[in-house]
């Protein structure tokens, strides 16, 4: 079997990466009763001064084994853990760069933070710092530096009620605010934190992580722009609305207006998003297509049944997110975002209908929603 590999980053900067263990002593773990503190692992990708040493490991073997446990997929944990990445562990940050925008990434429910590696690496290659968070006990496994592996803890005894999902999303919002507190406060846990711009922070997530982006933005005004990738939302936006830029990016057939309950959650939130906003859907994608899992499934001979390849959907996701954050954290012209979308025929803009079937606003060919 050919060694599976992530696509190369598209920017000009070599990418460094490091993993950091954080402990929030101000609160207990929300899921495990006898855990008095909330422990998290984060992965940071950043523009590096130069390539240095071997590439970063995708997952530890213990994490890979837990991710694959109970799945009849015929993939050895050693194969999954050794997916070829493009970042260099603990490479020195580029000292010539400062005021770097920071993007927090939140993975789907049960998915490790590693599944957002291709997005994180690409953002870093374009001069961003990207930080992916493992929301402990919500993912298949989280390995800590001392050898402990925190397994998924939300099986039997946790009914998947609306209250459960709300707890997931609001709990992730607290995780994200804590990560920001540590990275932007005194005595940060990463030497490169001095290069961050505290007024240029964004967040994006997949599935539950995408929905948690709204919860995090409502709770933390430091997050200036957010993106939900293929995640149905809860009614967390106050009646006064959310006036910061927001992007919905999902699969056609599930998240286009009128597609069903998932799309209905976006339609409910749409009028409450009172700042710049876009609603985009991608033809031929499946739920995992927006993460590393879609392109790895193709390479490992386990296609998801998507009409659009995982590699192509990854390219679309990278382009949309980067163009969105370029516009709202780097003041790039809005025409660049619209031009980026126009280059991808699989992507179309959408807006929910008004009651009675009257369209809400007009959609120009460029994708601008008025």
Under the banding of pLDDT at 50, 70 and 90, the label for residue 227 is very high
> What's the pLDDT score for residue 69?
77
> What's the pLDDT score for residue 201?
98
What's the sign of the alpha-carbon dihedral 53, 116, 145, 174? positive
Taking the C-alpha atoms of residue 148 and residue 11, their distance in angstroms, rounded to an integer, is 35
The arithmetic mean of pLDDT across residues 143-161, rounded, is: 89
pLDDT greater at residue 75 or residue 298: 298
Q: Are 249 and 317 in contact (CB under 8 A)?
A: yes
In tens, the pLDDT along 54-80 reads 999 999 888 888 888 766 677 888 898
> What's the pLDDT score for residue 363?
28
pLDDT greater at residue 140 or residue 224: 224
CB atoms within 10 A of CB 222: 18
Q: Report the C-alpha dihedral over residues 197, 201, 204, 208, rounded to 10 degrees.
A: 120
Q: Please state the φ and ψ torsions of residue 50, each to the nearest 5 degrees.
A: -170, 160
Alpha carbon 282 to chain centroid, angstroms: 17
Percent of the chain predicted with pLDDT > 90: 79
Closest CA relative to residue 213, chosen from 230, 234, 232, 228: 228
The arithmetic mean of pLDDT across residues 2-6, rounded, is: 89
Under the banding of pLDDT at 50, 70 and 90, the label for residue 355 is very low
The arithmetic mean of pLDDT across residues 252-273, rounded, is: 96
The arithmetic mean of pLDDT across residues 163-178, rounded, is: 96
Q: Are 295 and 278 in contact (CB under 8 A)?
A: no
Q: Is the pLDDT of residue 354 over 80?
A: no
> What's the pLDDT score for residue 71?
67
Give CB contacts under 8 A, 24+ apart, made by 71-80: 73/300, 73/302, 75/300, 75/302, 79/1, 79/3, 79/4, 79/300, 80/4, 80/296
Q: Is the pLDDT of residue 183 over 70?
A: yes
Taking the C-alpha atoms of residue 370 and residue 364, their distance in angstroms, rounded to an integer, is 8
Q: Is the pLDDT of residue 364 over 50?
A: no
Q: Is the pLDDT of residue 369 over 50?
A: no
The arithmetic mean of pLDDT across residues 333-344, rounded, is: 84
Q: Are strands 38-47 and 129-134 parallel, antiparallel or unpaired?
A: antiparallel
Q: Are 42 and 130 in contact (CB under 8 A)?
A: no
Q: Report the C-alpha dihedral over residues 259, 173, 83, 151, rounded to 10 degrees.
A: -100
Q: 237 by DSSP, 3-state: which?
A: coil
Closest CA relative to residue 222, chosen from 253, 243, 204, 201: 201
């Amino acid at each position: 079997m050919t060694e599976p590999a992530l696509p190369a980053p598209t920017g000009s900067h070599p990418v460094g990466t490091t993993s950091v263990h954080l402990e929030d002593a101000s609160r207990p773990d929300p899921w495990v009763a006898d855990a008095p503190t909330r422990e998290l692992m984060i992965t940071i990708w950043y523009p590096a001064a130069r390539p240095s040493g071997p590439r970063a490991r995708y997952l530890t073997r213990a994490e890979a084994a837990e991710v694959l446990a109970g799945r009849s997929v015929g993939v050895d944990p050693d194969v999954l853990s050794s997916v070829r990445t493009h970042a260099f562990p603990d490479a020195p940050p580029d000292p010539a760069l400062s005021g770097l925008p920071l993007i927090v990434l939140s993975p789907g429910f049960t998915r490790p933070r590693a599944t957002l590696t291709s997005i994180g690496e690409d953002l870093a290659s374009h001069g961003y710092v990207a930080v992916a968070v493992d929301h402990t006990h919500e993912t298949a496994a989280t390995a800590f530096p001392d050898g402990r592996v925190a397994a998924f803890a939300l099986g039997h005894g946790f009914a998947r009620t609306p209250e459960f999902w709300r707890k997931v999303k609001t709990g992730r919002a607290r995780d994200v605010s804590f990560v920001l507190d540590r990275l932007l406060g005194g005595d940060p846990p990463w030497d490169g934190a001095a290069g961050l711009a505290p007024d240029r922070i964004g967040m994006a997530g997949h599935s539950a992580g995408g929905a948690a982006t709204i919860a995090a933005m409502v709770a933390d005004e430091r997050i200036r722009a957010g993106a939900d990738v293929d995640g149905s939302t809860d009614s967390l936006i106050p009646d006064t609305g959310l006036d910061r830029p927001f992007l919905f990016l999902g699969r056609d057939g599930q998240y286009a207006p009128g597609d069903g309950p998932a799309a209905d959650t976006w339609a409910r939130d749409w009028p409450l998003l009172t700042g710049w906003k876009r609603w985009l859907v991608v033809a031929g994608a499946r739920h995992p297509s927006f993460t590393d899992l879609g392109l790895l499934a193709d390479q490992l001979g386990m296609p998801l049944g998507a009409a659009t390849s995982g590699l192509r959907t990854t390219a679309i996701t990278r382009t949309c997110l980067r163009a969105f954050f370029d516009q709202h954290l780097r003041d790039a012209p809005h025409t660049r975002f619209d031009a980026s979308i126009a280059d991808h025929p699989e992507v179309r803009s959408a807006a929910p209908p008004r009651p009675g079937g009257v369209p809400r606003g007009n959609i120009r060919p460029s994708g601008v929603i008025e």
